[in-house]
């Protein structure tokens, strides 16, 4: 899986991984799931909505959108199974998904770069992260909407760097 290119020829501008622990700018807004399953923070101007199984978020200009979703599982999944679950989830909810690269990160999470189209026809240039903690699967995706993901790289790095799951979620 690590650094495995997808068989598609599509390219994403989300080719370099966000840095590990960027500092959130003044005015950042933190969110902690009421059940304590995850925590995340957003730069000034971002909004979010709870979904019942996570949150959806977007920049002030709605050019960068994303979500965190989680679900309980009784099965222990290896990285290949996690990647398969992510691909199945996105193929089911989006159109024309083209997979780029998969990379295993040091925190035990898997990063997958992809492009696709929303059900509303928006062009998406994206990166997703999937991981498990205890008996929960977590998916976080960030995507440029009708523009390159890299336009929002600094914001994405701050969001990804703030993201904590499971027992670590209390340390935001």
Helix then strand count (H, E) for the chain reads 2, 11
pLDDT in tens, 114-130: 999 999 999 999 999 99
With tokens 């898997």, the residue in question is 110
Burial 47-76 (b: 16+ CB within 10 A, else e): ebeeeeebbebbbeeebbbbbbbbeeeeee
Task: Indicate the Cα dihedral angle 157, 161, 166, 171, nearest 10°.
Answer: -150
* CA–CA dist 49, 11 (Å, integer): 30
Helix (H, G, I), strand (E, B) or coil at 170: helix
Q: What is the pLDDT of residue 14?
A: 52
Sequence-separated (6 or more) residues with CB below 8 Å from residue 122? 145, 146
Sequence-separated (6 or more) residues with CB below 8 Å from residue 128? 86, 90, 111, 112, 114, 139, 140, 141, 142
pLDDT in tens, 5-61: 333 334 455 544 444 455 666 788 999 998 888 999 999 999 999 998 999 999 999
pLDDT in tens, 129-167: 999 888 889 999 999 999 999 999 999 999 999 999 986
Would the pTM of this model clear 0.85, i.e. be above it? no
* CA–CA dist 73, 109 (Å, integer): 16
Query: E-assigned strands of 59-94?
Result: 64-72
Rounded to 5°, the CA angle 46-51-56 comes to 30
Rounded to 5°, the CA angle 81-83-84 comes to 60
pLDDT in tens, 63-117: 999 999 999 988 888 889 999 989 999 999 999 999 999 999 876 799 999 999 9
CB atoms within 10 A of CB 7: 7
């Amino acid at each position: 899986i690590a650094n495995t290119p997808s068989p598609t020829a599509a390219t994403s501008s989300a080719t370099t991984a966000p840095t590990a622990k960027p500092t959130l700018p003044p005015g950042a807004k933190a969110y902690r799931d009421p059940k304590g399953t995850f925590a995340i923070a957003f730069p000034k101007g971002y909004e979010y909505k709870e979904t019942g199984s996570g949150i959806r978020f977007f920049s002030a200009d709605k050019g960068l959108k994303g979500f965190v979703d989680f679900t309980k599982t009784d099965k222990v999944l290896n990285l290949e199974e996690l990647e398969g679950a992510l691909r199945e989830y996105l193929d089911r909810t989006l159109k024309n998904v083209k997979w780029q690269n998969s990379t295993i990160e040091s925190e035990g999470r898997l990063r997958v770069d992809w492009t696709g189209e929303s059900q509303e026809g928006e062009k998406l240039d994206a990166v997703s992260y999937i991981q498990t903690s205890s008996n929960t699967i977590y998916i976080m995706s960030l995507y440029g909407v009708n523009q390159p993901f890299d336009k929002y790289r600094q914001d994405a790095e701050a969001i990804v760097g703030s993201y904590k799951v499971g027992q670590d979620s209390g340390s935001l």
